[in-house]
Amino acid sequence: MSTIKWLGEDIKGYRPDWTDDQCDYVMDEIGTVLSELSIEYGHEILEQLISAFERDAEDDWWDAIK
């Protein structure tokens, strides 16, 4: 299982001139939408990664983990 945790400090990389309090405030304001979009786009990314794995994996990978 993977978990994504977004923090105010993640905003700091995009807005280094903002204070920590400003970054935390903005993250609090956009956090719900960010989570929803992460899930939506995450499903698309997951599907692409699974397809790439299947394409690149050895033919016997499935049998090896049964």
| CA dist 3 → 15, 19, 32, 38 (Å) | 24, 26, 15, 11
- Tell me, what's the pLDDT at 66? 65
- Tell me, what's the pLDDT at 19? 97
pLDDT at residue 21 greater than cutoff 90: yes
Q: Label residue 42 by pLDDT band (50, 70, 90).
A: very high
Q: Is the pTM of this model over 0.85?
A: no
In whole angstroms, give the CA distance from residue 22 to residue 40. 27
Compute the C-alpha angle 36/21/30, nearest 5°. Answer: 15
In whole angstroms, give the CA distance from residue 57 to residue 49. 12
Give the number of other Cβ atoms within 10 Å of residue 2's Cβ: 5
